[in-house]
Amino acid sequence: MKILVTGFDPFGGESINPAFEVIKKLREKIGDAEVIKLQIPTVFHKSIKTITDKIDEVKPDVVLMIGQAGGRFDITVERVGINVDDARIADNEGNQPVDEPIDPEGLPAHFATIPVKAIVQEIRESGIPASVSNTAGTFVCNHVLYGILNYIYKNKLDIRAGFIHIPFLPEQVVTKPNTPSMALDTMVNAIEKAVEVIARTEDDIKRAEGTIC
Amino acid sequence: MKILVTGFDPFGGESINPAFEVIKKLREKIGDAEVIKLQIPTVFHKSIKTITDKIDEVKPDVVLMIGQAGGRFDITVERVGINVDDARIADNEGNQPVDEPIDPEGLPAHFATIPVKAIVQEIRESGIPASVSNTAGTFVCNHVLYGILNYIYKNKLDIRAGFIHIPFLPEQVVTKPNTPSMALDTMVNAIEKAVEVIARTEDDIKRAEGTIC
Amino acid sequence: MKILVTGFDPFGGESINPAFEVIKKLREKIGDAEVIKLQIPTVFHKSIKTITDKIDEVKPDVVLMIGQAGGRFDITVERVGINVDDARIADNEGNQPVDEPIDPEGLPAHFATIPVKAIVQEIRESGIPASVSNTAGTFVCNHVLYGILNYIYKNKLDIRAGFIHIPFLPEQVVTKPNTPSMALDTMVNAIEKAVEVIARTEDDIKRAEGTIC
Amino acid sequence: MKILVTGFDPFGGESINPAFEVIKKLREKIGDAEVIKLQIPTVFHKSIKTITDKIDEVKPDVVLMIGQAGGRFDITVERVGINVDDARIADNEGNQPVDEPIDPEGLPAHFATIPVKAIVQEIRESGIPASVSNTAGTFVCNHVLYGILNYIYKNKLDIRAGFIHIPFLPEQVVTKPNTPSMALDTMVNAIEKAVEVIARTEDDIKRAEGTIC
Q: List b or e across D46-67, with b for residues whose CB sees 16 or more CB atoms inside 10 angstroms.
A: bbbebbbebbeeeebebbbbbb
Q: Spot the catalytic one: B21, B45, B141, B192.
A: B141
Q: What percentage of chain A carries pLDDT values higher than 70? A: 100
Q: In A, which residues are within 8 Å of D180 by CB distance?
A: 73, 180-181
Task: Provide mean pLDDT across the span A124-142.
Answer: 98
Q: Which of B140, B196, B161, B131 is nearest to B61 (CA)?
A: B161
Supply the ipTM of this predicted assembly. 0.96
**Which residues of A sit within 8 Å Cβ distance of D?**
73-74, 124, 127-131, 170-171, 173-174, 176-183, 185-186
Does residue A137 have a pLDDT over 80? yes
Does residue C88 have a pLDDT over 80? yes
The answer to whether the CB atoms of C171 and B127 lie below 8 A apart is yes
CA-CA distance, A135 to A141, in Å (whole number)?
Answer: 10
**Which subunits sit against A, judged by 3+ Cβ pairs under 8 A?**
B, D
**Strand blocks (E) in chain D:** 2-8, 29-30, 33-40, 62-68, 75-78, 80-82, 85-86, 98-100, 109-111, 130-133, 160-166
Task: Provide mean pLDDT across the span A113-135.
Answer: 98
The pLDDT score that the predictor gives to residue C202 is: 80
Cβ atoms of B133 and B78 closer than 8 Å = yes
The Cβ of residue A37 has, within 10 Å, a number of other Cβ atoms equal to 14
**Tens digit of each residue's pLDDT (9 = 90 or more) over B85-135:** 999 999 999 999 999 999 999 999 999 999 999 999 999 999 999 999 999
* Cα–Cα distance list, D82 to B132, B137, C18, C111, C136 (Å): 44, 44, 29, 9, 13
Look at strands C130-133 and C75-78 and give their pairing.
parallel
Q: In D, which residues are within 8 Å of A74 by CB distance?
A: 173, 177
The pLDDT score that the predictor gives to residue A61 is: 98
The answer to whether the CB atoms of A84 and B86 lie below 8 A apart is no
Q: Spot the catalytic one: A78, A110, A122, A192.
A: A78
The pLDDT score that the predictor gives to residue A213 is: 76
pTM: 0.96
Across the interface, which of D124, D130, D183 has its CB nearest the CB of A186? D183
Angle in degrees, CA A59, A190, B70, rounded to 5: 110
3-class SS at B47? helix
Q: In A, which residues are within 8 Å of D170 by CB distance?
A: 127-129, 182, 186
Q: Which of A41, A139, A39, A160 is nearest to A82 (CA)?
A: A139
Residues 6+ apart with CB under 8 A from D43: D91, D92, D93, D95, D140
Q: Which of D163, D15, D173, D148 is nearest to D92 (CA)?
A: D15
CA-CA distance, A78 to C81, in Å (whole number)?
Answer: 46
Domain A2-200 in CATH 3.40.50.300? The answer is no
Which residue of chain D is at minimal alpha-carbon distance from A122? Answer: D174
Question: Mutation test of the interface with chain A: which of B83, B99, B105, B114, choosing the one with the most A Cβ atoms within 10 A?
Answer: B99
Does residue C203 have a pLDDT over 90? no
CA-CA distance, C138 to D213, in Å (whole number)?
Answer: 7
Per-residue pLDDT of chain B (213 residues; tens, 9 = 90+): 999 999 999 988 888 999 999 999 999 999 889 999 999 999 999 999 999 999 999 999 999 999 999 999 999 999 999 999 999 999 999 999 999 999 999 999 999 999 999 999 999 999 999 999 999 999 999 999 999 999 999 999 999 999 999 999 999 999 999 999 999 999 999 999 999 999 998 888 888 999 987
Q: In D, which residues are within 8 Å of C207 by CB distance?
A: 98
Number of helical H runs and strand E runs in chain D: 5, 11
Cβ atoms of C131 and C121 closer than 8 Å = no
* Cα–Cα distance list, C43 to A109, B187, C89 (Å): 55, 36, 11
3-class SS at B183? coil
**Tens digit of each residue's pLDDT (9 = 90 or more) over C101-114:** 999 999 999 999 99
The answer to whether the CB atoms of D74 and A173 lie below 8 A apart is yes
The pLDDT score that the predictor gives to residue D12 is: 85
The answer to whether the CB atoms of B170 and C180 lie below 8 A apart is no
Task: Provide mean pLDDT across the span A76-99.
Answer: 97
Sheet holding C160-166, edge to edge: C29-30, C33-40, C2-8, C62-68, C160-166, C75-78, C130-133
For residue B5, the cross-strand partners are B37, B64
Cβ atoms of B166 and B198 closer than 8 Å = no
Task: Provide mean pLDDT across the span C61-79.
Answer: 97
The 8-class DSSP code of residue C205 comes to: P
Q: In A, which residues are within 8 Å of D183 by CB distance?
A: 182-183, 185-186
C184-200 and C18-25 helices cross at what angle (nearest 10)? 70
Across the interface, which of D127, D131, D173 has its CB nearest the CB of A177? D131
B165 is catalytic: yes
Dihedral (Cα; B178, B180, B182, B187), 10-degree rounding = -160
Cβ atoms of C109 and C82 closer than 8 Å = yes
The answer to whether the CB atoms of D170 and A127 lie below 8 A apart is yes
Does residue A1 have a pLDDT over 80? yes
**Which subunits sit against B, judged by 3+ Cβ pairs under 8 A?**
A, C
Least confident range from A192-206, B112-126, C48-62, D112-126: namely A192-206
Across the interface, which of C73, C124, C181 has its CB nearest the CB of B129? C181
Give the type of residue at B134. Answer: N
Per-residue pLDDT of chain D (213 residues; tens, 9 = 90+): 999 999 999 988 888 999 999 999 999 999 889 999 999 999 999 999 999 999 999 999 999 999 999 999 999 999 999 999 999 999 999 999 999 999 999 999 999 999 999 999 999 999 999 999 999 999 999 999 999 999 999 999 999 999 999 999 999 999 999 999 999 999 999 999 999 999 998 888 888 999 987
Residues 6+ apart with CB under 8 A from C35: C3, C5, C26, C27, C28, C29, C195
**Which subunits sit against C, judged by 3+ Cβ pairs under 8 A?**
B, D
A78 is catalytic: yes
**Which residues of A sit within 8 Å Cβ distance of B?**
12, 67-70, 72, 79-80, 82-89, 96, 98-99, 107-111, 117, 132, 134-139, 141-142, 165, 204, 206-213
Q: Which of D108, D26, D39 is nearest to D67 (CA)?
A: D39
Question: Mutation test of the interface with chain A: which of D134, D174, D212, choosing the one with the most A Cβ atoms within 10 A?
Answer: D174
Cβ atoms of D18 and D34 closer than 8 Å = no
Q: In D, which residues are within 8 Å of C81 by CB distance?
A: none
The pLDDT score that the predictor gives to residue D11 is: 86
Q: What percentage of chain A carries pLDDT values higher than 90? A: 91
The answer to whether the CB atoms of D181 and A131 lie below 8 A apart is no
Residues 6+ apart with CB under 8 A from A156: none
The pLDDT score that the predictor gives to residue C14 is: 86
Q: Spot the catalytic one: D21, D110, D141, D192.
A: D141
A202 is catalytic: no
CA-CA distance, B44 to B32, in Å (whole number)?
Answer: 33
Q: In B, which residues are within 8 Å of A107 by CB distance?
A: 107-109
Chain mean position to CA B56:
19
Q: H helices within A59-200, ranges in order? A: 116-125, 140-154, 184-200
DSSP-assigned states of every residue in D21-58: HHHHHS-SEETTEEEEEEEE-SSTTHHHHHHHHHHHHH
The pLDDT score that the predictor gives to residue C212 is: 86
A140-154 and A46-58 helices cross at what angle (nearest 10)? 40
